[in-house]
Amino acid sequence: MNPPETTRDTLEALLDAVARDRDTRCTALAEESSERARQLLAEARGFARRAVGEAVASERRRDREAYRRMQARIDTHHRLQQQRIQKHRLEHAWGLLQDALFARWRDPAARHTWIEAALKRAGLVLHPDHWTIAHPPDWSPEERSRIHDWLHDRAGVSATFEADKAIRAGLCVRRDQACFDATVDGLLAARHRIEAQLLAELSTPEGET
């Protein structure tokens, strides 16, 4: 027995509705899945970009730190090299300065200027009564006699002369416990100050005054 026509139409209508609902649900699920896939892909790309960016930034930081350490080593090496060069130049200049002073003492005219300047400066710090003047053993008696007379006539100073083997050039003038040292060692006693002046001279480009 066949179902009535109305029943058949109703059944087909229900089947069509179920099919449409199925298709609608499938389409919605497909779109939802596609949207979720796009979101996941976007999140993955974002994560990948951040990871790459952080890796690049980290690598750049490491590169900068490595460069900073390398530059610091180069700067330290350069500074130490300059200090060695500076020390060598100072030692050489110091030797030349000492040699120049000894040469001036050996030159009669320069020695006379040295002695007069030293005695005039001594007169500013020592009381002009009786002085003891230490000098190199090879200083001639004739010059000592002239200086003795010069001191007596110009400054009213009487002097006793004493040869000192430790003195190679210059004079050391004493009165009681006071002393004016115009020997080479005395003139070069302020080594740090003199070396600073030598460095200033050595650092001046040729041709400048």
Name the percent of the chain lying above pLDDT 90: 32
**Among 143, 102, 138, 137, CA closest to 119:** 143
- Residue 127 main-chain phi, psi, to 5 deg: -70, 130
Which pLDDT tens digit goes with each residue over 156-195?
A: 888 999 999 999 999 999 998 899 999 999 988 888 888 8
More confident residue, 37 or 84: 84
Is 150 inside any structural domain?
yes
Give a yes or no: residue 143 inside a domain.
yes
| pLDDT recorded at residue 193 | 85
Q: Which residue has the higher pLDDT, 7 or 156?
A: 156
Q: Where is pLDDT greater, at 88 or 166? A: 166
Number of domains in the chain: 1
Give the CATH number, domain containing residue 155. Answer: 3.30.2320
pTM of the complete model: 0.59
Tell me whether residue 15 is in a domain.
no
- Per-residue confidence (pLDDT) for residue 163, from 0 to 100: 95
pLDDT value of residue 209: 42
| Residue 159 zone, left/alpha/beta (φ > 0; ψ -120 to 50; rest) | beta
**195 part of a folded domain:** yes
Q: Cα separation of 53 and 109, whole Å?
A: 81
Band the pLDDT of 204: cuts 50, 70, 90.
low
Decide if 113 is inside a domain: yes
Is 7 a domain residue?
no
The more confidently predicted of residues 94 and 16 is 94
Domain, as residue range, for 188: 107-203
Does 93 map to a domain? no
The answer to whether residue 38 is domain-embedded is no
